């Protein structure tokens, strides 16, 4: 299937799901309570049925104007529901579902309107591919340490904290057993050690940093890179999952797993294409012998 077909398929499924949800809202009070709270369903349906359900259906049929309407309306409703759930503490599931629908609608709209997956949009500003400047290994190591601190502060502390607060406020929290939280501590320690090992190998042997704006000048096939091609990504994602387990937040765990999907589907292909362009057969041999995600016994010389 082409990207446009995938986008249209999403809108078609969204139209069906939206229609089924509205039937459930008017049929089962429980569904109405957890997804709309105290909002008047008839008043909401007056706009949502034509703009969300019918708009998605027309977008699935290829009507370009309907794509803008469906995606735009879904984003507006998601923002409104998120605000409503945060202020009132009600309709948390409705807010979560609409946020997911908004993200999906925006992605589907991009596919339908552009006919491709514009992954390069992610590689702008500080994330644009650039070789690291020539410097001593200790300078690269220092720069990498700063990157890790920023990554930790933003993606492992600030964002998970916001998500955990929202999870509680929206009434979505599910208590985790103590054993699960302890497992999160162990996983975080192992993942953190992997990340530090990877960062050191990248800085000392690769003459660069993990950040795209200061990429290594040499292909690193030593250290943890002998076991898996992307140990920094594995370590970072595992730390995100571990933070969710330690915090007792299933939404944080989901956030980390979604991040892994985005990285694998959009960023990794661009990164590997860049490595192949710069290192040619050396990288192709490495790619063929070392797994992408799951560590395995090394097939490279020490």
CA 178 to chain centre: 27
Report the pLDDT averaged over residues 277-293. Answer: 91
Judged against a pLDDT cut of 80, whether residue 135 lies above it is answered with no
What Cα–Cα distance (Å) separates residue 56 from each residue in 43, 51, 82, 123, 225? 20, 8, 21, 30, 45
Going by pLDDT thresholds of 50, 70 and 90, the confidence category of residue 126 is low
Are 275 and 225 spatial neighbours (Cβ–Cβ below 8 Å)?
A: no
**Backbone dihedral angles phi then psi of residue 168, each to the nearest 5 degrees:** -70, -45
- How far apart are the C-alpha atoms of 98 and 85, rounded to whole Å? 12
Please state the separation of Cα 164 from the chain's center in Å.
16
pLDDT at 203 > cutoff 70: yes
Q: How many CB atoms within 10 Å of residue 259?
A: 17
CA–centroid distance for 241 within its chain: 12
pLDDT in tens, 148-160: 899 999 999 999 9
Rg (CA), the chain: 23
Secondary structure (3-state) at 195: helix
3-class SS at 118? coil
Q: What is the DSSP string of 40-73?
A: -HHHHHHHHIIIIIIHHHHHHTT-HHHHHHHHHH
Structure confidence at residue 136 (pLDDT) = 81
pLDDT, tens only, 205-249: 888 788 777 788 889 898 999 999 999 999 999 999 999 999 999
**Per-residue pLDDT at 127 exceeds 80:** no
Contact 55, 69 (CB under 8 A): yes
Alpha-carbon span 93 to 95, nearest angstrom: 5
90-104: per-residue pLDDT in tens?
A: 999 999 999 999 999
Give 138's pLDDT tier (boundaries 50, 70, 90). Answer: confident
Q: How confident is the model at residue 8 (pLDDT cuts 50, 70, 90)?
A: very high
Both tokens assigned to 154: 């933003």
Number of residues assigned to the chain: 302
Query: What distance lies between CA 97 and its chain's CA centroid?
Result: 16
pLDDT band per the 50, 70, 90 thresholds, residue 257: very high
- The rounded mean pLDDT for the chain is 92
Give me the pLDDT at residue 300, please: 59
Q: How confident is residue 78, by pLDDT bands cut at 50, 70 and 90?
A: very high
E strand segments, 90-160: none
Q: Is the backbone of residue 225 left (phi > 0), alpha (psi -120 to 50) or beta?
A: alpha
- Specify the DSSP class assigned to residue 250: H
| Total Cβ atoms within 10 A of residue 46 | 11
User: Given this model, what pLDDT does residue 57 score?
Assistant: 97
């Amino acid at each position: 299937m082409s990207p446009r077909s995938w986008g249209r398929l999403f809108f078609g499924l969204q139209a069906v799901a939206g229609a089924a949800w509205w039937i459930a809202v008017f049929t089962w009070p429980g569904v109405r309570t957890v997804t709309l709270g105290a909002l008047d369903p008839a008043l909401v349906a007056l706009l949502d049925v034509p703009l969300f359900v019918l708009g998605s259906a027309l977008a699935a049929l290829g009507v370009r104007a309907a794509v803008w309407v469906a995606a735009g309306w879904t984003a507006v409703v998601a923002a409104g529901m998120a605000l409503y759930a945060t202020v009132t503490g009600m309709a948390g599931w409705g807010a979560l579902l609409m946020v997911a629908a908004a993200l999906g609608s925006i992605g589907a709209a991009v596919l339908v309107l552009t006919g491709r997956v514009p992954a390069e949009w992610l590689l702008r500003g500080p994330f644009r591919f650039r070789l690291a400047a020539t410097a001593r290994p200790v300078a690269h190591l220092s720069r990498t340490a700063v990157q890790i601190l920023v990554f930790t502060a933003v993606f492992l502390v600030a964002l998970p904290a916001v998500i955990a607060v929202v999870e509680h406020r929206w009434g979505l929290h599910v208590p985790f057993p103590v054993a699960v939280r302890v497992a999160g501590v162990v996983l975080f320690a192992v993942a953190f050690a992997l990340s530090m090992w990877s960062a050191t190998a990248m800085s000392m042997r690769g003459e660069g940093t993990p950040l795209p704006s200061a990429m290594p000048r040499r292909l690193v096939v030593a250290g943890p890179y002998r076991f898996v091609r992307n140990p920094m990504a594995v370590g970072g994602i595992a730390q995100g999952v571990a933070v969710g387990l330690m915090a007792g937040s299933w939404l944080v765990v989901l956030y980390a797993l979604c991040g892994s999907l985005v990285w694998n589907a959009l960023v990794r292909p661009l990164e590997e294409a860049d490595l192949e362009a710069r290192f040619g057969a050396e990288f192709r041999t490495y790619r063929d012998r070392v797994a992408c995600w799951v560590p395995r016994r090394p097939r490279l010389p020490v």
